[in-house]
Amino acid sequence: MEGRSFTNKELASAAGITAQTATAHLRLLQQAGLVLAEKRGRCVFHRLASAEVARVLEQLASIAPSDHLLRAQRRKAGNIAQLRSCYDHLAGPLAVAMTTRFLERGQLVEENGGFRACPDESWQKLGVSLPEKPSGRDARQPFARPCMDWSERRLHVSGALGRQILTHAFDRGWVARNSHKRGLQLTGLGSRGLDGILGLRSETLSEA
């Protein structure tokens, strides 16, 4: 879900199954177009086929029984539920709080079950460039897409807008990866930046 590729043995170890079982499952997923396999040297690496597949997986996680899901995730991944990457955008309480603030300020408007991004000077400070007139693939893909956060059961923003925010956060040193592949930490720079731009205080999240 963090957009990286792994071998069948690495995935098998994470899932607690044999490499043979993982290979069989991966073959079926590949045939269904959900997973891509790429040979690099002697190893074959597997990754999710697209952001759309990742979005569907996140949606499935959001309807799973929450109690055992949250307990298992927190035991296994520590603070991943607090701040994490959801394929190519931010997820967790901070992402939900940011999306809520965008809606409150009129930067995002809920429309026909989706989000419409409205011009605002704060976007540039967050690394976001609003499209003038989408064309080609961008015309078919919503620029700002609502995504149900599995841990918060509330919406955070994905799509190109969410991707630009996460990229900017990494570039500016606002977030850093922690020991878990999807887990992120909000840095002091990030905390001050979000407070200054959005008036969003994030004391509940760990700072690096």
- What's the confidence (pLDDT) of residue 189? 93
- What's the confidence (pLDDT) of residue 77? 43
Contact 119, 128 (CB under 8 A): no
Q: pLDDT tens, 77-87?
A: 455 557 888 88
What would you report as the CA-atom Rg of the chain, rounded to the nearest whole angstrom?
18
Rounded to whole angstroms, the Cα distance separating 145 from 155 reads: 10
Rounded to whole angstroms, the Cα distance separating 189 from 57 reads: 31
* SS (HEC) of the chain: CCCCCECHHHHHHHHCCCHHHHHHHHHHHHHCCCEEEEEECCEEEEEECCHHHHHHHHHHHHHCCHHHHHHHHHHHHHHHHCCEEECCEEECHHHHHHHHHHHHCCCEEEECCEEEECCCCHHHHCCCCCCCCCCCHHHHCCCCEEEECCCCCCEEEEHHHHHHHHHHHHHCCCEEECCCCCEEEECHHHHHHHHHHHCCCCCCCCEC
Q: pLDDT tens, 85-126?
A: 888 899 988 999 999 999 999 999 998 878 999 999 999 999
- What's the confidence (pLDDT) of residue 179? 66
Q: Spell out the domain ranges in the chain.
A: 8-49, 52-76+89-170
Contact 84, 76 (CB under 8 A): no
Contact 55, 177 (CB under 8 A): no
- What's the confidence (pLDDT) of residue 108? 96
For the chain, 208 residues long, give each residue's pLDDT as a single digit of tens: 766 788 888 888 888 888 889 899 999 999 999 998 888 778 888 988 887 888 788 777 666 655 444 455 445 445 555 788 888 899 988 999 999 999 999 999 998 878 999 999 999 999 999 988 655 545 567 899 998 887 777 889 999 999 999 999 999 999 998 766 678 889 999 999 999 999 987 554 444 4
